[in-house]
Amino acid sequence: MKKIKTTPLAPQEFEVEQISENEANVIAYPFETGYAVSLAHPLRRFLLSSSVGYAPYAIKIEGAKHEFDSVRGMLEDISDFILNLKDVRFKLLDGTTDVEVEYNFAGPCEIKGSDLSGDAVEVVTPDAHLATLNEEATLNFSLKIAQGIGYVPSEDIIDEVSDDYIALDAYFTPVKSATYKIENVLVEDNPNFEKVVFSIKTDGQISPIDAFKNSLEVMYAQLGVFNSEISIKSPSTIERVEESAELKKLTQPIDTLGLSARSYNCLDRSNIKYVGEIVMMSPNDLKNVKNLGKKSYDEIVEKLNEYGFEVGSKLPEEVESALKKKIEAK
């Protein structure tokens, strides 16, 4: 007889596979049959439509009145220059959301994305080609760059900028691709549970994990209208994403740190097996590990820092509790 349930199984496993700086897989399981796609599809939509990015939305070019004009000595027409500009992806610094930046170039030279980085903005596509100037050319222009979501056509922007600026189509979305696949996973003797695997790739303006967290925030904000009348208590999934990824790193064996044989053996003989055990130790406790000299201590601290932690770090309560259970079970 099939087991009778009163509530669906809630997924407990969360993993992040970092493929590169701008590409990652986000994995969660086990879901009841049909639940994985029910959650994955809207999350993918939010990833593609609501992730926050940056884009130029207006440009002023000295000597050019419209996008079909040209600049003496520049190989590209203004229209080609603007098309190339769309391949240059910006990132605003110091928490700013809207800036105006000025640029001045004299030929002969090739202007690339890296030439547009400065105190106010960072270009995350440094090799993107923008323009080619000959020895007679000068190119002076100003860009208005803002933070936003989705796509905003120039027609919606033209009334917001002065007449000396050319309005641009603003493509803010930093997510280049977001796909998911559903796999079967075995729970006890039932093979019909599901695992969802998100594959997320960004342009470098934000990380894939930040984009994923952003999509969760948007999703919960949209669902929040129902909570105004219905009281629902649930753990913060945003915190759970962060804690699960952190806990996974903390429960890695100490050989993950790439320590020298002497440092590793000192820890191993003291029955220290996991990275998190070192993190929870105070500096004095680590120094007092039997036969651990200053050189080994310094190496462990350095390797731990490279791994993203410090000796004696204060961990979130839920992460620390789960870590202690793992240590007790070893």
Among the CATH numbers 3.40.50.150, 3.30.1360.10, 3.20.20.70, 2.60.120.260, which is that of 13-51+175-234?
A: 3.30.1360.10
Q: How far apart, in Å, do the first and last CA atoms of the chain sit?
A: 37
Average pLDDT over residues 249-274: 86
**What is the rounded average pLDDT of the residues 205-230?**
84
Give the pLDDT score at 330.
Answer: 65
Among 289, 287, 290, residue whose Cα is nearest residue 298: 287
Q: What is the DSSP letter of 216?
A: H
- Hey, which of 22-36, 157-171, 238-252 has the most confident mean pLDDT? 22-36
**Which segment of 80-84, 116-120, 303-307 scores lowest on mean pLDDT?**
303-307
**CA separation for the pair 28, 23 (Å, rounded):** 17
Tokens 């208005």 locate to 144
Residue 237: pLDDT band (50, 70, 90) is low
Q: Cis peptide before 30, with omega less than 30 degrees from 0?
A: yes
Of residues 66 and 181, more confidence is placed in 181
The two structure tokens encoding residue 85:
């500009």
Please answer whether residues 203 and 174 qualify as being in contact, where contact means their C-beta atoms are separated by less than 8 angstroms.
Answer: yes
Q: Residue 190 — very low, low, confident or very high, per pLDDT cuts 50/70/90?
A: confident
Distances in Å between the Cα of 183 and the Cα atoms of 29, 111, 196, 237, 293 are 9, 46, 6, 22, 49
Q: Is the pLDDT of residue 130 over 70?
A: yes
**pLDDT tens sequence across 140-176:** 999 999 999 999 999 998 888 888 899 999 999 999 9
Domain residue ranges in the chain: 13-51+175-234, 53-171, 249-328
CATH number for the segment(s) 249-328: 1.10.150.20
Summarised one tens digit per residue, pLDDT across range 55-113 is: 999 999 998 888 888 899 999 999 999 999 999 999 998 888 899 999 999 989 999 99
Contact 227, 303 (CB under 8 A): no
pLDDT at residue number 230: 56
Please give the average per-residue pLDDT across 181-190, as a whole number: 89
- Single out the residue of 245, 255, 296 nearest to residue 275, CA to CA: 255
Q: What is the pLDDT of residue 1?
A: 44
Residue 254, C-beta contacts closer than 8 angstroms, at least 6 positions apart: 264, 267, 268, 272, 273, 274, 275, 277, 278
Contacts (Cβ under 8 Å, ≥6 apart) of 18: 24
Q: If one looks up domain 53-171 in CATH, what number appears?
A: 2.170.120.12
Nearest Cα neighbor of 164 from 34, 263, 242, 64 is 64
